[in-house]
């Protein structure tokens, strides 16, 4: 899973003319309400799978 995320992030950074702009947008998305909700669901799923 982490490898897939790394590839996605690298692809997004390459698509922008200015990689720093892509990096800033990705960092802003990390702490957005949408991202935090996805993280909460992922944690619940991991707890379910592990237990």
1-51 pLDDT per residue, tens: 667 878 888 888 888 888 888 888 888 888 888 888 888 888 888 888 888
User: Quick one: pLDDT at residue 36?
Assistant: 86
pTM of the model: 0.50
Q: What is the pLDDT of residue 26?
A: 84
Structural domains in the chain (count): 1
**Helix ranges (DSSP H) in 1-51:** 2-15, 19-30, 33-50
pLDDT in the model for residue 43 = 87
Whole-number pLDDT of residue 2: 65
Contacts of 26 (CB under 8 A, 6+ apart): 9, 12, 13
Range of the domain at 37: 2-50
Report the half-sphere exposure of 30 (CA within 13 A, side-chain side).
9
């Amino acid at each position: 899973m982490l490898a897939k995320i790394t590839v996605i992030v690298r692809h997004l950074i390459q698509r922008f003319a200015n990689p720093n702009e892509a990096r800033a947008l990705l960092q802003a998305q990390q702490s957005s309400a949408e991202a935090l909700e996805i993280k909460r669901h992922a944690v619940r799923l991991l707890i379910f799978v592990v237990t």
